[in-house]
Structure 1
Amino acid sequence: MSNHDTGHEASNELVTHEPGALPDRFEDPGHPEHHDRLGDNDPKANKKAERQVVALFGISVIATIGFLVAYFALPPGETPESMLRSNLALGLGLALSLLGIGFAAVHWAKALMNDHEKSEDRHLQRSSDENRAAAVTALKDGAADSAIGRRGVLQGAMISALALFPLAIVVPFVGNIGDDWNVSKFRHTMWRKGTKLATDPTGRPIKAADVTIGSVFHVIPEDLHEAEHPLDEKAKAVVLLVRLDPADLTEAEDRKGWSYDGIVAYSKICTHVGCPVALYEQQTHHLLCPCHQSTFDVADGAKVVFGPAKRPLPQLPITVDDEGYLIAQSDFTEPVGPSYWERLAR
């Protein structure tokens, strides 16, 4: 159908005569038709939306208070159940506190603030003094449009939520200042001369005869349950036990007595940021950290072969006792886990 048939003016046609070429300009379609919201014409609906925003801010306030109560009333403790209970309460409090503020801000903007679409022409980066003055006026008009000055309850709810929420971050931070700065506790673990290597989590001692070539055991000290804080001690003392063909082992001269008939034991704590290293690839003898893919060569002193880690995994010197059980010769000879400011580089 031609332009004359449709009654359109030829000057408004935005096509070119060259196939595939883009038009030189596009007609400004303008703003879409504005549709009033229910609250724009119904004062009761507008007031209802305001009460909803206040309620959302109120939820945030209550959740923040709940977080603080849970932080002091539900300490993590030493059992998995107490840690689960504490983390669940803290997580729900923090989530509801943030969600309350976020939903309140979104609902306020959508239901109470002006929703007329506006557009402005592009200008040079440095606006004229008149435009800068107009921008300041527009900001003032926006603040007036939010009606925060005329909505005392809403203003109070917003200020309360925003003022209380930082406590959910500050209180735990302040509460962790103190003993946690004592880095000397990272220098030693529960491993001692003669401590039997036991399976995790059963605590069953391991005999060297039970470890076949290619097998992997997750290991803890046999007497871990006797520790005052067993979970804290386990976090430092966990070990991965692997048996290789002795011909595949490459051992430093000062460590030739640290293994037993191809059985080697290394800390499971990644030297990058402390994730559990437990993915063993039997063919390559590589040990992978699932967090950031640091890779260690178990056959060669657990040296780093890939990834962000900068240190080999600390090796636990082992041997067997008179009954054939695997035992530690000593504690690790270096601190386990990531670097810290008092740990010397090597």
Structure 2
Amino acid sequence: MSTNITMKTSEAYSHFNRLEWSSLAKPERVALSSEEISKLQGIDQVISSDEVADIYFPLSQFLFLQMTHSMNLHHDMNVFFERSTKKVPFVIGIAGSVSVGKSTTARLIQALISQWPTKPKVDLVTTDGFLLPNAKLEERQLMKRKGFPESYDIERLIQFLLSLKSGAEKMEVPVYSHLTYDRIPNKSQVIESPDVVIVEGINVLQVNKKNKNIPEVFVSDFFDFSIYVDADENNIKQWYIDRFKILRNTAFHDPSSYFHRYRNLSDNEAVEFATDVWNTVNKINLEKNIKPTKYRANLILNKGIGHRVTDILIKKL
């Protein structure tokens, strides 16, 4: 039965291979220099200029159409209800597994959106900042469940999105440090009068199914458009291991790093440790909580070897 459901779900999407998708790009392209692309890519990813041109330029142009439609609808509704409201930003959600490249995708989209004809103000918010502080996670015995739904301050995230969609002019969100592996005390990211907000995180399309009789508000309810970044699980696992090995030779050598103790692991020890973390934490979270949300997204980016996008699925309107 689950196979039939998956087939029916996938049929709700239009499929484009890489060549078909790249051919949709319109002439009025914006340019990102090699230096700009280099700054946007992750430590374990190399994003080529043709990847930006073939995949992310048409995606940016498609998102511009989505935002224009959303703004026109918002205006027409205000006219119909004879009311005026504050500026409400267009909100894009980006979901996917650990190490699949969500952050790089989000940064590329942010850079391209900022060059739209309207020159919008674009803010990028990661849900890492809404992880409960380590002290709270340890108190609740959740350190080994970090990244699972119960490790987030979902109420605070919902409140932020509610304020955002209510037209609040200035908001603050917590800031997370991947170096210390914890929320940074007394530090906030200020979001002020944005035109577009990108919300990136593994949990942004998840829903709480604990009690189906109680109506709830979900993070994705506030999205105008959502993207799921996908790849074969074996590839994601390898990317996670590769990133761990890179960090072992770089960030882990900083004494303030939470993972400083792992800086001297041999290659074999690093692979063994990262594989164990993947199998006991990330794999479980991916299969139980993240991947089931894939078909809730408006658009799915499928990646292959080298983080290159192979095809795109767009939910039929």
Question: What's the TM-score, normalizing by structure 1?
Answer: 0.20
Larger RCO: Structure 1 or Structure 2 (Cα < 8 Å, ≥ 6 residues apart)?
Answer: 2
Question: What's the TM-score, normalizing by structure 2?
Answer: 0.21
Larger Rg: 1
